[in-house]
């Protein structure tokens, strides 16, 4: 992780509108700012042609006005998953990574083990809200998911289950709102320019 790169990674539209964000809480005063996503499907059996969950996420990302910067599929192997996610969070053109698959309890479900060591900060609230939404759909079966999220290298990372229904619930119930600058009282987009401020402070102290 290169601090010099972090200082310039955020898109210019966020800097351009920063002053406007401080004018007041009126939703209509804020512009929509597109975010760049990467989608990773984790599966031993699917290819991109059969990847319903990844395709559904890609469609929703673009339908919301965001950009799909990358999409890939890897097998349920810790090294392969971690390598792909690590590469994406180093890419200044990618703001958020969503993985789908590998969050269960079977021996081949290793996405949390692969991705969580990359987290600089955990997003515990994401898992709580996801399970609450999921419980309304599948009742206690939601406990079989280890959906998780965090921030690494100024990039949001979300690990979702492999089912299209779970991915739909996560996007429609959480992500589509949090990645909209107009969402009140707060959202992920408005704090993107500040995700690396701890690293900037460290550089100033040296």
The CATH number that applies at residue 98 is 3.40.980.10
In a domain, 18, yes or no: no
Beta bridge partners of 72: 40
pLDDT score recorded for residue 199: 58
Q: What does each of the 206 residues of the chain score in pLDDT, given as a tens digit?
A: 433 433 334 443 444 333 443 433 444 478 999 999 999 999 999 888 899 999 999 999 999 999 999 999 999 999 999 999 999 999 999 999 999 999 999 999 999 999 999 999 999 999 999 999 999 999 999 999 999 999 999 999 999 999 999 999 999 999 999 999 999 999 999 999 999 876 554 444 44
Whether 72 is covered by a domain: the verdict is yes
In a domain, 20, yes or no: no
Query: Residue 5's pLDDT is what?
Result: 39
Residue 40 lies in a domain: yes
pLDDT given for residue 9 in this prediction:
43
In a domain, 23, yes or no: no
Q: How many domains is the chain built from?
A: 1
Could you tell me the residue range of the domain that residue 105 belongs to?
A: 33-205
Q: Where are the alpha helices (DSSP H) in the chain?
A: 3-6, 12-16, 18-21, 52-63, 78-89, 111-115, 124-138, 164-170, 176-178, 188-191, 197-205
Residue 1 counted as domain residue: no
Q: Is residue 198 part of a domain?
A: yes
Helix (H), strand (E) at residue 27: none
CA distance 166 to 164: 6
Q: pLDDT per residue over 67-92, tens digit each?
A: 999 999 999 999 999 999 999 999 99
Q: Is residue 6 part of a domain?
A: no
Determine if the pTM surpasses 0.85.
Answer: no
Burial 57-91 (b: 16+ CB within 10 A, else e): bbebbeebebeebbbbbbebeeebbbebbbebbeb
| Contact by Cβ (8 Å): 151, 159 | no
Supply the pLDDT for residue 60. Answer: 98
């Amino acid at each position: 992780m290169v601090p010099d790169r972090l200082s310039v990674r955020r898109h210019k539209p966020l800097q351009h509108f920063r002053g406007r964000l401080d004018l007041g809480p009126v939703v209509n005063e804020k512009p929509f700012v597109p975010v760049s996503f990467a989608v990773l499907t984790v599966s031993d059996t699917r290819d991109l042609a059969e990847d319903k969950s990844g395709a559904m996420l890609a469609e929703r990302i673009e339908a919301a006005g965001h950009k799909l910067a990358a999409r890939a599929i890897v097998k349920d192997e810790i090294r392969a998953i971690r390598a792909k996610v690590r590469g994406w969070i180093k890419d200044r053109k990618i703001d958020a990574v969503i993985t789908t698959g590998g969050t269960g309890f079977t021996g081949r479900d290793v996405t949390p083990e692969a991705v969580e060591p990359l987290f600089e900060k955990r997003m515990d609230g994401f898992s709580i809200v996801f399970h609450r939404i999921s419980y309304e759909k599948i009742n206690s079966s939601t406990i079989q998911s280890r959906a998780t999220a965090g921030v690494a290298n100024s990039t949001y990372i979300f690990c979702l289950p492999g089912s299209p229904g779970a991915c739909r619930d996560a996007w429609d119930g959480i992500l589509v709102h949090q990645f909209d600058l107009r969402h009140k009282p707060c959202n992920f987009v408005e704090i993107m320019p500040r995700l690396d401020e701890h690293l900037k402070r460290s550089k100033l102290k040296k």
